[in-house]
């Protein structure tokens, strides 16, 4: 199973028309502008069929957009976790069975609704009204949350009593993006934040061999900038592909990728330029990259950052806004770690040597080295899993194979429960 993690933000702020500025006639009216960004981190997960059901028999290696535990646990305490706020209601007949920034004039009344067409909400702030729907199967019904909605007013004044995130937290960086404050019945914030899961395969597909990375754009529209990062734990390299044409592919030789820049500041600058190319403002791009800076600089293994086309984003998470904005930009980017590409170990020689030492530590006599090796392997994630699978298949030592199998069981993907209305990679049309 592949799980993709989303961090989405909607912000309502201030934008001026291109014409009619000071000295050129009457004072301009402030346009209503909406910018949304979301990040999906591709990892592994097993999908449950929904409330009260086990894993889907056809769910192997489906791709899911969902929040990783690390992101959810790293949210400020005032952000609401859906699992603690909402319990789906069961009914019976015969059997009991990304961050939104909003820009506009002070005092503008607005409403925003996001439907989780192929998944469910995970976390949100400010507190929304939940959009619910009842689904019936063989006489039993389940009322589940299928979306989120907010109503409020835009304000230019920072509110008193604003809930605070810890110093240095990325939430504070996103809060500094210059936009209006959103005053809603569920709280006041500078943006709308939500997490939601969805089933959706990435549209830029990376295929890896020992000497080459092929990036195929399976969509009809060009991709815009694609950033590729390779980090073996000691050295980091990145390359930026300007764009990939629709239904086309580019080939990147291993020697060229590993000869690419490794400087962290240059990498972050390339990522900020990528988000600006997708329509984000300079301030928004800075906040996004700062939020994901630990992953961009320190994630061991591969990371391919490519955009989800806007029309696909709209199907995954349908968005309705009133009044109608003069401009809407939705930029979603997948951070693909290429979890099923076994050839990645050939690109990470230093990491493979590290993994070899850690596996030996699993067989240490004392518990402390075993626990340390186990924790470090778990932190490495997919590269460690691929190496352990390789050991099980190739190692002549029964002891090594047994230790690798034990550790591999600990790295087994968790279960991500999708609601009854989730329909795989074809989002359903939910009417509200």
Tens digits of residue pLDDT in 327-380: 999 998 988 888 888 899 889 988 888 888 888 888 788 888 888 888 888 888
Residue whose token pair is 């600058």? 269
Write b or e for each residue in 203-234: b if 16 or more Cβ atoms lie within 10 A of its Cβ, otherwise e: bbbbebeeeebebbbebeeebbbbbbbbbbbe
DSSP alpha helices (H): ranges in 163-210? 170-175
Pairing label, strands 46-48, 121-125: unpaired
Angle, vertex CA 296, rays to CA 226 and CA 388, nearest 5: 100
Q: In this structure, are residues 413 and 46 in contact, taking their beta carbons and an 8 Å threshold?
A: yes
Query: Partners of 33 in the beta sheet?
Result: 327
Predicted pLDDT of residue 429? 36
Q: In this structure, are residues 35 and 100 in contact, taking their beta carbons and an 8 Å threshold?
A: yes
In Å, how far are 2, 41, 284, 341, 359 from 375, measured between CA atoms? 22, 21, 35, 23, 11
Mean pLDDT of the chain: 80
CA neighbor of 120 nearest in space, from 60, 58, 51, 61: 51
The model's pLDDT over 400-409, given as tens digits with 9 standing for 90+, comes to 888 888 888 8
Q: Dihedral sign, CA of 336, 338, 344, 350?
A: positive
Q: In this structure, are residues 237 and 296 in contact, taking their beta carbons and an 8 Å threshold?
A: no
Hey, where are the domains in the chain? 2-417
- Report which secondary-structure segment, H or E, holds 71: helix 69-73
Predicted pLDDT of residue 241? 98
Q: How crowded is residue 195: how many other Cβ atoms within 10 Å of its Cβ?
A: 28
What tokens does 240 get? 């930026």
Q: How crowded is residue 258: how many other Cβ atoms within 10 Å of its Cβ?
A: 16
pLDDT tens, the chain, 432 aa long: 333 444 455 555 434 333 333 334 333 457 999 999 988 777 666 655 554 444 444 444 444 444 444 444 468 888 887 655 554 443 333 322 279 999 999 999 999 999 987 677 888 999 999 998 877 666 667 777 889 999 999 999 999 989 999 998 989 999 999 989 999 999 999 999 998 876 667 899 999 999 999 999 999 999 999 999 999 988 999 999 999 999 999 999 999 999 999 999 999 999 999 999 999 999 999 999 998 898 899 989 999 999 999 898 898 889 999 999 999 999 989 888 888 888 998 899 888 888 888 888 887 888 888 888 888 888 888 888 888 888 889 888 887 888 888 888 877 766 556 565 554 333 333 333
Please give the DSSP secondary-structure letter assigned to residue 379: H
What tokens does 322 get? 């009133």
Q: How crowded is residue 182: how many other Cβ atoms within 10 Å of its Cβ?
A: 29
Instruction: Give φ, ψ of 345 to 5 degrees.
Output: -65, -30
Burial degree of 157 (CB within 10 A; 0-12, 13-18, 19+): exposed
Q: How far is CA 369 from the centre of its chain?
A: 34
What tokens does 250 get? 């580019």
């Amino acid at each position: 199973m592949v799980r993709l993690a989303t961090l989405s933000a909607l912000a309502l702020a201030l934008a001026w028309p291109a014409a009619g500025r000071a000295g050129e006639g009457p004072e301009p009216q402030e346009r209503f502008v909406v910018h949304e960004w979301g990040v999906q981190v591709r990892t592994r997960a097993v999908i449950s069929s929904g409330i009260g059901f086990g894993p889907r028999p056809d769910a192997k290696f489906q791709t899911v957009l969902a929040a990783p535990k690390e992101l959810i646990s790293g949210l400020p305490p005032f952000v609401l976790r859906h699992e603690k706020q909402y319990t789906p209601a069961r009914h019976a007949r015969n059997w009991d069975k990304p961050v939104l920034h909003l820009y506009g004039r002070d005092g503008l009344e607005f409403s925003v609704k996001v439907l989780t067409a192929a998944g469910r909400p995970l976390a949100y702030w400010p507190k929304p009204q939940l959009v619910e729907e009842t689904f019936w199967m063989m006489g039993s019904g389940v009322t589940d949350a299928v979306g989120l909605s907010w109503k409020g007013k835009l304000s230019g004044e920072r509110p008193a009593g604003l809930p605070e995130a810890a110093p240095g937290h990325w939430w504070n960086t996103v809060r500094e993006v210059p936009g209006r404050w959103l005053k809603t019945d569920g709280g006041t914030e500078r943006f709308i934040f939500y997490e939601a899961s969805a089933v959706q395969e990435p549209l830029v597909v990376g295929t890896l061999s020992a000497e080459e990375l092929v990036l195929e754009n399976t969509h009809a529209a060009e991709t815009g900038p694609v950033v590729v990062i390779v980090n073996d734990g000691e050295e980091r390299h990145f390359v930026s592909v300007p764009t990939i044409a629709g239904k086309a592919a580019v080939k990147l030789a291993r020697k060229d990728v590993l000869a690419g820049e490794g400087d962290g500041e240059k990498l972050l600058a390339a990522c900020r330029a990528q988000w600006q190319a997708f329509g984000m403002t300079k301030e928004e791009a800075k906040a996004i990259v700062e939020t994901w800076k630990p992953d961009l600089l320190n994630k061991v293994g591969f990371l391919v950052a490519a955009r989800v086309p806007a029309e696909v984003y709209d199907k995954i998470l349908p968005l309705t806004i009133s009044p109608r904005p003069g401009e809407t930009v939705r930029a979603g980017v997948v951070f693909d770690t290429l979890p099923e590409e076994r050839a990645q170990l050939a690109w990470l020689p230093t990491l493979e040597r590290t993994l070899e030492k850690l596996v030996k530590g699993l067989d240490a006599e004392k518990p402390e080295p075993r626990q340390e090796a186990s924790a470090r392997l778990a932190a490495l994630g997919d590269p460690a899993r691929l190496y352990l699978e390789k050991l099980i298949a190739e190692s002549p030592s029964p002891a090594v194979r047994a230790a690798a199998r034990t550790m591999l069981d600990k790295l087994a993907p968790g279960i991500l429960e999708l609601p009854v209305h989730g329909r795989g990679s074809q989002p359903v049309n939910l009417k509200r």
